């Protein structure tokens, strides 16, 4: 199980934009390119954050063999894929999410996000639930549909996965929130921004897209973009899973009050247009929740619940939903 300590939980996340349309090299060449992308994420993490990444996410279908019948397009995890991708996980001491057309025993084929741990071992597999229905009435050329929405406990926190067309259906995003996901990875061909931002805002977790084109991004629980790239390449960025969301308050002064009180011990992104900000601690001995309480502010959900109770008392109960 992931550790749920009260205090800073810094996580360095890597993601990428990589065009893959019509790209069908031999498997070993494809894996070499993907391994190089992970190396580049690790190099950027070292340069920007001073350490190795904790989680790197490759795009949807990063691993698939060629065009043609589904049995020829899907690739087993055991063998070269696990050898190369697991080797990179060990080399860089990171979790790796590998998007792939996965072939399994019994003729089962799925569009999958495979999570490898820092030892290069399989930590979990998410199989795309809402695969695209093609013109022949098949799912992406003959895939099997996934059946559920697992969450995976990593040593830094709890993650879930969705893949491309899953974005259009509420089911998985809601289940992952209910199960306590703190990061949802989204390997995808579609480079959407509004919907993943809305998912992050609605459910209060980070969303990490890894794409074929246009952009890849890390979305905060505020719904705002923490980091983004818009050209082919890689991105490494540090987030903190121990955070507090604060609504506008006159004495908060868009975060300046916290900065004056705690200096570099506190970090935050405040968005005046949203009247909201995300705050985290840079002091291992002082959790952000304690800072916020000490400074006399209420976390946003506490503010909402307080106001709801007052409003209900004036109207004599909750509002009618009829």
> What is the residue range of 185's domain?
10-240
Beta-strand runs (E) in 241-312: 243-247, 266-271, 276-281
Task: Pick the last residue of a domain from 205, 224, 240.
Answer: 240
pLDDT number for residue 99: 98
Mapping DSSP to helix (H, G, I), strand (E, B) and coil, where does residue 150 land? coil
| Contact predicate 118/158, CB 8 Å | no
Shared domain for 57 and 191, answered yes or no, is: yes
Shared domain for 88 and 226, answered yes or no, is: yes
Mean pLDDT of the chain, nearest integer: 96
Shared domain for 251 and 224, answered yes or no, is: no
Shared domain for 257 and 145, answered yes or no, is: no
Shared domain for 260 and 189, answered yes or no, is: no
pLDDT number for residue 162: 99
Shared domain for 277 and 153, answered yes or no, is: no
Closest CA to 57 of 284, 254, 217, 174: 217
Task: Pick the last residue of a domain from 240, 260, 289.
Answer: 240
Residues of the chain with pLDDT under 50: 1-3
The domain tally of the chain equals: 2
Shared domain for 248 and 236, answered yes or no, is: no
Residue 319 included in any domain: no
CATH number of the CATH domain containing 188: 3.60.110.10
Closest CA to 37 of 216, 193, 179: 216
Shared domain for 236 and 255, answered yes or no, is: no
Encoded tokens for 136? 């022949």
pLDDT number for residue 201: 98
Angle formed at CA 183 by CA 157 and CA 177, multiple of 5 degrees = 100
pLDDT number for residue 271: 98
Shared domain for 115 and 260, answered yes or no, is: no
Shared domain for 193 and 272, answered yes or no, is: no
Task: Pick the last residue of a domain from 216, 240, 264.
Answer: 240
Shared domain for 205 and 270, answered yes or no, is: no
Shared domain for 208 and 304, answered yes or no, is: no
The length of the chain, given as a count of residues: 322
| Contact predicate 49/235, CB 8 Å | no
Cα 149 from Cα 50, distance rounded (Å): 34
| Contact predicate 244/301, CB 8 Å | no
Residue 4 included in any domain: no
Residue 67 included in any domain: yes
| Contact predicate 98/62, CB 8 Å | yes
Residue 65 included in any domain: yes
What's the chain's Rg over C-alpha atoms?
A: 21
């Amino acid at each position: 199980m992931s550790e749920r300590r009260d205090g800073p939980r810094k996580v360095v996340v890597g993601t990428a934009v990589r065009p893959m349309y019509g790209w069908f090299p031999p498997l070993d060449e494809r894996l070499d390119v993907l391994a190089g992308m992970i190396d580049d994420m690790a190099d950027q993490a070292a340069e920007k954050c001073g350490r190795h990444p904790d989680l790197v996410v490759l795009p949807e279908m990063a691993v698939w063999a060629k065009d043609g019948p589904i049995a020829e397009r899907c690739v087993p995890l055991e063998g070269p894929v696990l050898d190369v991708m697991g080797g990179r996980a060990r080399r860089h001491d990171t979790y790796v999410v590998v998007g792939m057309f996965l072939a399994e025993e019994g003729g089962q084929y799925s569009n999958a996000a495979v999570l490898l741990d820092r030892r290069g071992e399989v930590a979990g597999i998410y199989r795309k639930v809402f695969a695209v229905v093609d013109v022949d009435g098949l799912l992406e050329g003959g895939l099997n549909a996934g059946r559920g929405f697992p969450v995976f406990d990593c040593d830094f926190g709890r993650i879930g996965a969705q893949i491309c067309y899953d974005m259009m259906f509420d089911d998985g995003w809601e289940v992952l929130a209910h199960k306590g996901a703190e990061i949802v990875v989204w390997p995808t061909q579609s480079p959407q921004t509004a919907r993943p931002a809305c998912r992050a805002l609605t459910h209060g977790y980070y969303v990490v897209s890894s794409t074929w084109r246009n952009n890849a991004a890390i979305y905060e629980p505020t719904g705002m973009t923490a980091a983004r790239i818009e050209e082919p390449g890689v991105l490494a960025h540090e987030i903190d899973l121990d955070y507090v969301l604060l609504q506008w308050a006159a004495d908060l002064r868009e975060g300046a009050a916290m900065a004056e009180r705690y200096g570099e011990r506190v970090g935050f992104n405040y968005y005046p247009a949203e009247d909201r900000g995300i705050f985290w601690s840079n002091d291992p001995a002082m959790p952000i929740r304690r800072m916020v309480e000490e400074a006399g502010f209420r976390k946003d959900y506490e503010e909402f619940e307080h106001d709801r109770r007052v409003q209900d008392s004036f109207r004599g109960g909750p509002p009618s939903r009829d």
